[in-house]
Amino acid sequence: MKNMTQEELDAYMETIPEWKRGALVVAQTEEEQQEQAKGVFRRAKDKLSTKINESGPVQRFKESDEYDKLSKLREEYKAEFQEFKGNLKEGLDMSHSPIV
């Protein structure tokens, strides 16, 4: 149906009985489905996170040197952790133990 022209779509819709037209469900976009799926607590958490991240103290902290240092440390930790996981997986793959 996505590849149909407007005329073809109109002709197709005319073939559907009137009582069935109301029963057709309109597909929602992915964002609408995700927004609908969010619960009360998730929406409240997102709203609170946004307000906190946009506050003055947080913005000043993000502009500070301390934040830059912490960000670099976090990136280094991520890289080391990924390397560790790769080495562990490789070691397990190379293991001859029937348990692993």
> pLDDT by residue (tens digit) across 35-86?
667 788 888 899 999 999 999 999 999 999 999 999 999 999 999 999 999 9
> Burial, 51: exposed, middle or buried (Cβ in 10 Å; 0-12, 13-18, 19+)?
exposed
Look-up of token digits 């307000």:
51
What distance lies between CA 45 and its chain's CA centroid?
15
> pLDDT by residue (tens digit) across 40-54?
888 889 999 999 999
pTM above 0.85, yes or no: no
| The pLDDT value given to residue 13 | 83
Distance CA 60, CA 67 (A): 9
- Residues 21/24/30/33 CA torsion (nearest 10 deg): 120
| The pLDDT value given to residue 55 | 93
